[in-house]
Every structure is written in structure tokens, then in C-alpha cells.
Amino acid sequence: MNIQEAKEELCRTIKAYTAKNEAGLYRIPQLHRRPILLMGPPGIGKTAVVEQAAMECGVAFLSYAMTHHTRQSAIGLPVIRQQTFHGESCSVTEYTMSEIVADILRTMEETGKEEGVLFLDEINCVSETLLPTMLRLLQFKTFGSHRLPEGWIIAAAGNPPRFNRSAREFDIVTLDRVRLLTLEPDLDAWRTYALRRNIHGSVLSYLSLKPEHFYVFRRTDLGKEFVTPRSWEDLSRTLELYEELALPAGEAFFSQYLQCAEVCTSFASYYRLYRSLSADTRLEALTSSGQLPEHVPNLAEAPADERLCIAEYLIQNLHRQLGAWKEHQLLLQSLSYFINGLVPLQPDFPSLESICQEQLEKRGNSLQKKKEFGLLPRQEEERELLLADTIKAWASEARLRGLRTDTSGFESRQISDVISVMKSLAADAFEELEQEALRLESVLRASVTFARAAFRDGLTACLFFTELLEQPETAEFLKKRMGTEYEFCIKEAQG
């Protein structure tokens, strides 16, 4: 099973385990809700996929690395209490609440969510003293004497022993308590994820040429060599920033992420080619203003690595621009909702900035709670920070527009509708967004024409049009604003 299939199965499981009957009771009792166990190599995204599934299903998420826990932190600390049995008083050992259960209850209280996923990572690396506790948790959903809240589901993950010396094989007793999902690295599934996350074009095109380098794990005389999907993603993020800051990126840099000499040397050589081809001023003009070269080159006879370099460069550039446009659109929509929310408060020009500040503080407190519990996507956090800065700037501008100088030279307040001033500022921003959309239409139209003429071989052209449509923001933009080009791209992607 690949990581995308695992995510889909997790989403189905969460929906099934949280389904209720007409009486409001869970249709599958907690005792019979088997935990999901993800077993697979390190670095393929097991933790991330569980968190994504929880977020998509709208439930809370709490993660623990079990290698950091002892029996005491898992089940609680012993407490001596006096109890009376048959008229005779005696000392009895009880336990405080488990740290994990306490965190679940705290999460429920602060997020307001009664249902969630408890994720236990590296579960097959727990100490011997913790094994009986883990077995009891998997079957009875209890830590010591404390049961998990009824709406919570257990998911766990581990690495096979060949990847981790401290890991152990699960016996039949353990496996009979879980739903086992065995995961394998899958480039096609990861590529879909990578396109949506704007993974660097050099990485995507390189892996198209060298799919065997997507996941590497081998033992040599010098030790272990490995490359994982996590390696490629982390390299991509840093590489993009290196390029923006004009920092050199060579083999010494790549070796810090690609810990396999063969893969590192091969990618370093390919990256030099990628940078050389993407520096072509004709490509820059194409992706910035939609200006087609005077003579579109026939790349059908060019080497495969050169064709892929150019195709992925165009895809990456288009996705980045359209993703930024979509984020700007979402920001302006949020700003419009914020302004509409000011109407019942009836602000005037003197009070506008203070009222906006109060509303922003309320939003900030709510977002901080979401962030603490891992429920705030990074893009949403960035959008909210931009929203706060923009609202402050617009409120200041609106106040200035509400001032006028009388004949005596003294400033007085102009009686005007403050909301209409804020909406006017929003309208100006939406007009700028529309002008940017028109530029992007020109760039997309020119890029499609270029790809059709340059990539005359079926494989590269099919790859270009397929990947163009795989990012949701790009596909949505084409479908809504460029119907003819959208239909053409679908046709070309289907070969």
C-alpha cells in the first residue's frame, strides 16, 4: 500500500469509527475499534499522513513518540491511599492520571472537539516494561486505570527491524489487536503530493529520469546509505531558499540530505544542467509576461534530461505563480468577511483602529489555540498574519480619508460611512487581483502554446499537461477562466 492509499483508508476509518446511531451512540463500540498500525520504512510520511487525515476529517490530533515514555509517564505515578475492607483499614496503591490521557482531556477542553486521533509513533521500540501497557491499550483502550475518551481513535506507526536496531517484530498476540497497513515507497503517489506542495522542479524531473533513486536503503562497507521521500522534500525546501538568496548549492550541500554517494553525485550533475537551462532569458520572458520566443525550438530531438528540465521548470514556475494568486484571492475574501463583520459594531473614524485591533486580538487568540494543538495549517497562519497587517494599514488609511482641513487650518472629522471607505480599499485590491489574473491567463496561454510546439514527443508533452492539471489551484484557474485551454490540456494529458 502506498502513502496516499493509507491516507484514504485512515479517512474512511475515522468516519466509520466516529459514526453514531439515532440514539447518539457510536455504532462501533470503543472496545471493537481496532487501532490502525502503519508499518513501513522511515521517511515516507507516516506521521504526516495521519495528521492530514485527522485534519481533513475535522477531528483533533495528538502525537507521541513512544520511545520517550516510561511506564510511569504512560500509566501514571503510584499513590498510596487508605481504604477499608470488611472493617479493616489498609494501604492501597493507586495511580495518578496518565500524562497521555491528561493531554487528551486538555486538548478536548481547549479545542472543543470531543473526537480525535491519538498517534503513537515508534510503537515497536517501546521498552520491555511498557509492552504489557501497550497491549492493554491496543485492546482495551486504557492507560493504567484510565480509559481513553470514547470519541478518540488510536493510530500507531513503526519501522521494520531492518531499519531500526531497537525495533522488534510484533507477535501474533499484538497483531491480532490492530488493523495492519504495510506501506511501501511509491513515486507516483508521492509525485501527486509533491506537485501540490510545489516541490522543486529539479527534484521532480530528476526522479522522472531516475525513479530508482526515489528511495534508497543499502548497507556498504562504509555503513548505511539511504535516501527517503523526506530527504527529497527537505532538500527541495532549502534549495528553493538557497536560490532566492543566491547561495551556492553543490555536491557538499546535497550530500547533507542525500546520504548515498551515487545519488548525491548524480543529482548534483543534473542540477547543474537544470540551472543552466532554466537561466534562458526566453523562458523567463515566457513565464513572466507570456511572451513567446520568436522561434519556438523543436525539443523533440533534444536529450530526455533537457526536455524534462524545461518541462518541470515551466510547471514549477506556473504552479508557484498560480498558487500565490490563489492565496491572494483567499486573503482578499477573508478581508471582505472581516469588513462585513464590522458593520454591527458601527465604528466611526476615531474608533475604527481600536475596534479593528480588538477583533484581530480575538482572531489571534483563537488561532493560537489551533496552533498549539497542530490544527493550524502553515498557509492559513501566514494568511492570518497578512490579514492583520492589511487591516491595520487599511484602518489607518480610512482614518486619514476621514480627515479634512477646514478654512481655519484645523483638522476636523468628516462625517462619512467608514465601512464604505474600507470596502473601497478592498475593491481596489480586488481590481489589482483581476489584473494579475489577466497576466496569468496570458502566461498560461503562451506556455500551453510553447509546450505544444516544443514537446512534440508524446511522453514529455503528456507529462507537462498532466502535471499542469494535478495542482488544484492551476486546474481551478484554467477551468473557470480558460475553458478552451482547460479542455485542450485534458485532451493532451490523456494522450
Residue 163 domain-assigned? yes
Q: Is residue 246 in a domain?
A: no
Q: Is residue 47 in some structural domain?
A: yes
Q: Is there a domain that residue 195 lies in?
A: no
Weakest mean pLDDT among 31-40, 74-83, 282-291: 74-83
Range with lowest mean pLDDT among 80-89, 111-120, 262-271, 296-305: 296-305
What does the pLDDT read at residue 406? 36
Least confident of 136-145, 187-196, 276-285, 445-454: 136-145
Per-residue model confidence (pLDDT) at position 407: 39
Alpha carbons 64 and 100: distance in angstroms, whole number: 8
Whether 43 shows a pLDDT value over 60: the answer reads yes
Query: Confidence band (pLDDT; 50, 70, 90) for 5?
Result: very high
Q: How far is the C-alpha of 391 from the C-alpha of 493, rounded, in Å?
A: 42
Query: In the predicted model, is pLDDT for residue 415 greater than 50?
Result: no
pLDDT surpassing 60 at residue 252? yes
> Is there a domain that residue 222 lies in?
no
Classify residue 469: in a domain, yes or no: no
Q: CA–CA distance from 336 to each of 62, 339, 404, 424, 476 (Å)? A: 34, 5, 26, 11, 21
Q: How confident is the model at residue 29 (pLDDT cuts 50, 70, 90)?
A: very high
Residue 9 — very low, low, confident or very high, per pLDDT cuts 50/70/90? very high
Q: What is the pLDDT of residue 179?
A: 94
pLDDT exceeds cutoff 80 at 109: yes
Q: Are 422 and 339 in contact (CB under 8 A)?
A: yes
More confident residue, 326 or 292: 326
Q: What percent of the chain has pLDDT over 70?
A: 94
pTM above 0.85, yes or no: no
The predicted structure's pLDDT at residue 190: 92
Integer Cα distance of 226 and 218 in angstroms: 6
Check residue 495 and give its pLDDT. 64
Q: How confident is the model at residue 262 (pLDDT cuts 50, 70, 90)?
A: very high
DSSP per-residue string spanning 426-490: HHHHHHHHHHHHHHHHHHHHHHHHHHHHH--SHHHHHHHHHHHHHSHHHHHHHHHH-HHHHHHHH
Four-residue CA torsion sign, 250, 252, 258, 260: positive
* Residue that wins the pLDDT comparison between 122 and 409: 122
Question: Of the ranges 252-256, 397-401, 491-495, which is most confident?
Answer: 252-256
DSSP assigned state of 20: B
Q: Quick check: 414 pLDDT over 60?
A: no
Note the pLDDT of residue 384: 93
Q: How many domains, in total, are found in the chain? A: 1
Confidence of residue 69 (pLDDT cuts 50, 70, 90): low
DSSP 129: G
Instruction: Give how far Cα 99 sits from Cα of 40, 65, 114, 216, Å.
Output: 28, 13, 18, 38
Smallest CA-to-CA distance from 379 within 317, 324, 436 is with 324
Biggest alpha carbon distance in the chain? 101
Which of 368, 362, 398, 390 lies closest to 380 in space, CA to CA? 368
Query: Tell me, what CATH number does 140's domain have?
Result: 3.40.50.300
Q: What pLDDT is recorded for position 408?
A: 40
Q: What is the mean pLDDT of residues 463-491?
A: 88
- Sorted by sequence, the CB contacts under 8 Å of residue 262 that are 6+ apart come out as 225
Cα separation, 226 vs 233, whole angstroms: 14
Per-residue pLDDT band for 215 (boundaries 50, 70, 90) equals very high
pLDDT at position 101 is: 85
Tell me which residue range forms the domain holding 15.
3-69+108-184
Q: What percent of the chain has pLDDT over 90?
A: 46
The answer as to whether 98 is a domain residue is no
Question: What number is the average pLDDT over the span 312-332?
Answer: 93
pLDDT of residue 64: 86
pLDDT, mean of residues 456-480: 86
Residue 236 has pLDDT above 70, yes or no: yes
Whether 88 maps to a domain, the answer reads: no
Q: What pLDDT shows up at residue 227? A: 95
